[in-house]
Amino acid sequence: MAFEPPRRLVRALGEAAPDGDDWLARLPEMAERAVARRELAVERVQVPGGRSSLVVLVRTADGTPAVLKLAPRRARPESERAALAHWGGLGAVQLRDGCDGRDGHGEGGDEGVLLLERLHPDVSVRSLPEAKALLEAAGTLRRLWVEPPASHPFETVAERTGRQAAAMRAGAVADAEVAPLVDAALDAREELLAAPPERRLLHGTFRQSKVLAGDRMPWLAVGPDPVVGETAFDLARLVRDRVEDLIAQPSGASTTRRRVKRLAESLEVDQERLRGWTLFRAVESGVRARRVGREKDAELLLEFAGWL
């Protein structure tokens, strides 16, 4: 089978690494090798798929449905593996490969290759009505917030947002229009990092589309980019889900503020800390979208950030 990467993946990788690398060129060969080593039967490549990995629907040698996921090193797939192993299927998709990255034949596994439990890839929490979707997504997220392993390999919120803050400052210098929002977001970050209330293992990139229907549990999270820090950071991305619908509403600003309050109360997160991280993450995403030419996305995100 030809493992053709979906256009969405090609476009997103081009934005993440504009100078390019050879991962996409090597992808068909890596996929063939991963399939052969695990004795998998390929059904199809998932389209449109993700923005950082190739997702292939497969069956194992005994006929069990599974998912083969291949991601470049910059997408931190081994960090994802470690988080999924630590969660052990509680709230998140399960690993089908051994947790040490071996392929079941006693040999080292392919770097950046994960064999996962098959969920229902076309049925996400986002397909539910908005209020129900937020409730189910929040319940799933709560199960993921556990103590990290004692000697964990994960980035901290301070480390990740430190890199992002540097890029935001550069964006503000180049675009005076966004400078006030960037300043507000960076000030919020400094204040939030001064006294974090807890350290938990977080999903890192959680949103409604990252929660898929399963058989073992109704809803399970997929695609983490794990990070260790306070829970408000993880919840912040969920606040702006369906941002295009929020912007289209005359009452979008007040709806957003109510959403912050409702999510904070339901998950016992400090409301002001959630508002601060929501501001930072929205501005960071907006500046990054503008930097890679996604102007419509940038406008939506920065208008949303202005409501906070």
pLDDT for 181 equals 95
Looking up tokens 């991963």 gives 34
What does the pLDDT average to over 209-224?
96
Q: Read off the tokens for 197.
A: 């209330």
Residue at which a domain ends, from 118, 146, 181: 118
Report if residue 157 sits inside a domain: yes
275 and 187 part of one domain: yes
pLDDT for 172 equals 81
Domain of residue 12, residue span: 7-118
Give me the chain's average pLDDT, please.
91
**b/e burial code for range 33-70 (CB count within 10 A of at least 16 → b):** ebbeebebeeeebbeebbbbbbbbebebeeeeebbbbb
pLDDT for 19 equals 56
pLDDT for 174 equals 75
26 and 152 part of one domain: no
| Number of domains comprising the chain | 2
What does the pLDDT average to over 168-194?
91
92 and 148 part of one domain: no
At 221, which CATH number? 3.90.1200.10
Report if residue 259 sits inside a domain: yes
144 and 253 part of one domain: yes
At 110, which CATH number? 3.30.200.20
Asked whether the predicted pLDDT for residue 200 surpasses 90, the reply is yes
**b/e burial code for range 144-178 (CB count within 10 A of at least 16 → b):** bbeebeeebebbbbeebbeebbeebeebbeeeeeb
pLDDT for 108 equals 43
pLDDT for 101 equals 43
Asked whether the predicted pLDDT for residue 17 surpasses 80, the reply is no
Of residues 1, 86, 62, 83, the one with CA closest to residue 35: 1
pLDDT for 102 equals 44
Neighbours of 28 (CB within 10 A): 15
pLDDT for 97 equals 78
pLDDT band at 6 (very low <50, low <70, confident <90, very high): confident
Residue 225 CA, chain-centre distance (Å), reads 5
pLDDT for 99 equals 45
Rounded Cα gap, residues 233 and 222, in angstroms? 18
Asked whether the predicted pLDDT for residue 100 surpasses 50, the reply is no
As a whole-number percent, the residues of the chain with pLDDT over 70 amount to 94
What does the pLDDT average to over 176-197?
95
Looking up tokens 């992808």 gives 27
